[in-house]
Structure 1
């Protein structure tokens, strides 16, 4: 499947599956072409439903196992224990210990963060945009995982494709504000202007929380047309990060 890449852990037992999708392989028409998974961006709801069904089918899941969020750029974390009838309301991170629940995060420049503790059997999907990251959404998610038995030294973090500091240009005052709350994020763009690298700031934050097993996809959604980018296109679709505990 050219619209998703997967990563698993712990060899053949594969207790955790993780996926990042791209924009190809779906049925949505311009400007959402083609594998748009966002149902809040103006795309044909039937096309989105078909894309989500295809995602589930390729992953070997039922669409009812996919858990989506009503993302609002907050620092709100919610725990889910069962299948949902609709998106988890007003949340930017979801955590579960229930096998078979596939936690989904939608992005188009924001950082999709997938967290797992295989030993404690806790996983999380995080929508870490500039404001959410600045306001501590990842820190709050790690804390919630710890409440459910996870340990920082056992947590693995996977950060997906997102806007890079090379192209994420913001006013200096905004960048300095983000840097104050998320050290390591302020940067200079290829134009020589002030920018932010949310992914870099999150890596530093994760390390400060005692999480050392970190993988970060370096691809920039703004410059790579393989992905949807709100900054580049304005009206566009959303790709997803998905993580779930297997039944094994």
Structure 2
């Protein structure tokens, strides 16, 4: 089956993509293009899926890079295919052609960034914790360190959980309000004492406040669109033992 790859005109002509779950070799709860080595899926099947992504990105499998994601604000500057080995971080930047930066998600925000004129790209895994702690801003600073101009950087948030599906408790809201009372804007009332949090809206706000030239969301909800996307929260609600991971990637 052909891979389904969502792209943005904003990042063109750079090769990039938010890959859906369609077109992979995995089965069961992982049905499709599961690229998460940390899942319980068969290692050789995940390798096949990642090889298909590498082929679509037109790089060798060894040049499709990722990090050990830990919901942090840590950023790795990649200078060669092996320079990131073992890194615990949630974002990568590079100015090296032929390297595809990738992140894995299953409700969190995958964010791909580029300043094509400067030849600098970035890829970010941003859940609520990483976004609140500043992973997006740290990535922009790292891109500037490689010669990018912040006002020339475009950032695209890919498929992630939408507000209507992201129910949280009062302690979650309080944590955000402790950082900035204005963050109340990203919450609406849910049932009882619950709230619904706008993760992509918050990501766009942080990017725009940080001064990027352009920021957008593809407006795909991982929770709502089960045939296209994996979702951690949906798997929990369904009582499933595990879930697949989506991959998003960009290269110069």
Q: List runs of 5+ in structure 1 lacking aligned partners.
A: none
1:72 is aligned to 70
Partners of 2:55 and 2:37 in 1: CA distance: 18
Deviation at residue 186 of structure 1 after TM alignment: 2.9
Q: Could you say what secondary structure the match of 1:173 adopts?
A: helix
Distance of 2:234 and 2:150 partners within structure 1: 35
3-state DSSP of counterpart to 2:30: coil
Q: TM-score, normalised by structure 2?
A: 0.89
Match of residue 115 from structure 2:
117
Larger relative helix fraction: 2
Q: Displacement of 1:119 after TM fit?
A: 1.4
Aligned counterparts of 1:208 and 1:215: Cα–Cα separation in 2: 13
Shift in CA distance, 9/196, structure 1 to aligned 2, threshold 3 Å: closer
Q: Distance in 2 between matches of 1:5 and 1:24?
A: 11
SS in 1 for 2:124: strand
- Name the SS for the 2:122 alignment partner: strand
Residue in 2 aligned with 1:135? 133
The number of aligned residues is 242
Task: Show the counterpart of 2:219.
Answer: 218
Q: Any conservation in 2 of the 1:110–1:163 contact (CA below 8 Å)?
A: yes
Which TM-score applies when normalising by structure 1?
0.90
Give CA deviations for 1:130-173 in whole Å, capped at 9, x if unaligned: 11111110011111111111111100001001011111011122
Q: Which moved more, 1:50-59 or 1:110-119?
A: 50-59
Q: In 2, Cα distance between the equivalents of 1:48 and 1:10? A: 27
**1:10/1:106 CA distance change after superposition, 3 Å:** closer
CA contact (8 A) 1:9 1:17 kept: no
Preserved contact between residue 190 and residue 196 of structure 2 (Cα < 8 Å): no
Residue 55 of structure 2 corresponds to residue 57 of structure 1: yes
8 Å contact 1:230–1:236 — kept in the other structure?
Answer: yes
Q: CA deviation at 1:240?
A: 1.0
CA distance, structure 2, for counterparts of residue 74 and residue 10 of structure 1: 25
